[in-house]
Chains A and B, each alone.
Chain A
Amino acid sequence: MSTDPPAAEPSALSRRTFVATTVAVGGAVAAGDLVVGPSAFGAEPSTAAETGPSTRVSLVVNGRRLTVVVDNRTSLLDLLREHLGLTGSKKGCNAGACGACTVLVDGRRVNSCLTLAVRLEGAEVTTIEGLAKGERLHPLQQAFIDQDAFQCGFCTPGQIMSGVGCLKEGRTGSAEEIREWMSGNLCRCGCYVKIVRAVEQAARWK
């Protein structure tokens, strides 16, 4: 038996074309919902309770309501990066082991790589792109700059989103507690000491 899965995306569009399509559609809709697909994905959604291989989902991303048609296999991470052009969330391991894809769903930090987008009907998603208030950075974003808490920066969006979750959960009582509750985010540059300091700084500002 072959173990090769079929291609993840039925669409022949390149990623660049794909993102461009998405942005064009978004730009054409002045005040209404952003609707992505179904033409861009090739498949029509089913209206029955049990869907076919793709499904229409309405969710809120960074305060903006969207209706998208997703291949059921699409992760939230791929929806963000490949379909919505929000490339802040990073694909590290794609298996829930590194934390680079961490976002907030309904206020809770989760691994977006293990979250199927099809399950997010009505959900509110916050990514690193939605954290600042206008030009004003979130205190933890500012703290990462103040503490120089990164080198290559690849894990940083996930670290910050996880840190926001850590702050909300009130697990910032000591450096030890922060380390334990931030352990779902790996940093190959080894900036852990400064990341802990950044979370401590943001906790003091709260």
Chain B
Amino acid sequence: MYPFSYTRVSDLRTAVQAGSDGGRYIAGGTTLVDLMRETVERPGKLVDISALPLREVTATKGGGLRIGALMRMAEVAAHPTVRALYAVISQALELSASAQLRNMATIGGNIMQRTRCTYFRDVTASCNRREPGTGCAAREGFNRTHAILGTSEQCVATHPSDVAVAFAALEATVHLLGPAGERTVAFSDFLLRPDNTPQREQSIRQGELITAVEVPAQPRPLRSGYVKVRDRQSYEFALTSAAVALHVRGGVIQVAKVAAGGVGTVPWKLSAVEQRLIGQRPSEALWTQAAEVAADGAQPLAHNNFKVELLKRTVERQLRVVGGTR
């Protein structure tokens, strides 16, 4: 690990100033410290933001949710308001990492976390995300766990977060505070596909701080849930996952929110699946028919072709679980 200076801040103004001056924010630190030890990350100055007043979950008007950026994953997962309004968020969090890591990691840090691609983590391997222009070792390497959607010539790494899949499905908004004041970014615009600039992972500017993630209100009752398929039963990143939320009224699906994880360079919103669900009556046949388009546009690599079929089945299964026809 390279040496760094350390500053603890307790108010937002000081934090943003320190970040604007080149400091790197640290919250839970579960990704950053690990990557600093691997020398993938080499910040010269850490700004500890854990004392900032961003530790609340509030229900917004109409049944939405605003989650403070410094809420720990474990706290959000267990929060009664979150559990009552968005089971999919609680489930995605509880299927993430381990109990220890969930006690440390925060929501803001979760959506800032970097890929677990082994070539990204290995500073002796070529990686365009870590060192632009050096190439992508995963393309011709061991790429069984890599992405099949949203990839580019430059990068095929998956986004590792589970709760980000729920946020993508629910069309959340990221609240930012920076030197120029506050702004909000749609979740779908916040996490960036690699394209030709894989080193740019979030649409966040120097000095900007995530203050909250807001989930918009949905009509009630809303049934929602998350499923995660892994190489082992627990404490593992997703091969595939699906976040589903459905609002059914009068026997007809009025609202469908669906996204997939483990398959994309960013959490993958499944608009085509949603379109096949809206206006239809829940049925076994409908789940199959809707999930059929889940992997449209997939570009599998040498070792991850299995994800195409697995993704469809994962989505179908979770539609059935949330839709409740069996």
| Residue positions of A touching B, CB distance < 8 A | 3, 5-6, 8, 49-53, 55, 71-73, 75, 94-96, 99, 102, 108-111, 114-116, 118-119, 121, 162, 165-166, 169, 171, 179-185
Contact = CB atoms under 8 A, between A and B. Distances in A.
A109 B29 contact: no
Nearest to A43: B3
Contact of B1 (A73, A96, A102, A114): A73
B99 interface: yes
Task: Pick the most buried of B3, B6, B37, B233: most chain A CB atoms within 10 A of its CB.
Answer: B6
A182 B99 CA distance: 7
Interface stretch (B43-51, B144-152, B263-271): B43-51
B99 A184 contact: yes
A119 B28 CA distance: 10
B7 interface: yes
A185 B235 CA distance: 9
B298 interface: no
Q: Which of B1, B36, B100, B234 has the most CB of A within 10 A?
A: B100
A129 B286 CA distance: 57
25 contacts: A5-B1, A50-B5, A50-B7, A50-B45, A51-B5, A51-B6, A72-B46, A73-B1, A73-B3, A95-B37, A96-B34, A99-B100, A109-B100, A111-B104, A114-B33, A114-B101, A116-B46, A118-B6, A119-B50, A121-B8, A171-B99, A179-B234, A183-B233, A183-B234, A184-B100
A5 B2 contact: yes
Interface in B245-289: none
Interface in B1-43: 1-8, 18, 26, 29-30, 33-34, 36-37, 39
Contacts of A96: 30, 34, 100-101
B186 interface: no
> Would you list the 7 A-B pairs with minimal beta carbon distance, nearest first?
A184-B98, A183-B234, A183-B235, A50-B7, A108-B103, A3-B123, A53-B3
Contacts of A118: 6
B231 to A, nearest CB: 13
Contacts of B48: 119
For the complex, would chain B's binding face be called helix, strand, loop or mixed by DSSP majority?
A: mixed
Interface residues of B, number: 34
B124 interface: yes
Nearest to B9: A49
Given A3-B123, A119-B48, A184-B235, A114 B29 contact: yes
A109 B99 contact: yes
Nearest to A93: B34
Nearest to A119: B48
B100 A110 contact: yes
B4 A119 contact: no
Contacts of B7: 49-51
Given A96-B30, A119-B50, A111 B100 contact: yes
Contacts of B46: 72, 116
Contacts of B36: 73
Nearest to B94: A180
Contacts of B98: 99, 183-185
Nearest to B104: A110
B252 to A, nearest CB: 36
B37 A162 contact: no
A116 B8 CA distance: 13
Contact of B104 (A51, A75, A114): A114
A167 B7 CA distance: 35
Given A8-B1, A115-B33, A183-B234, 8 more contacts: A51-B7, A73-B4, A102-B100, A111-B104, A165-B103, A166-B99, A179-B234, A183-B233
Contacts of A8: 1
A177 B104 CA distance: 21
Contacts of B39: 3, 5
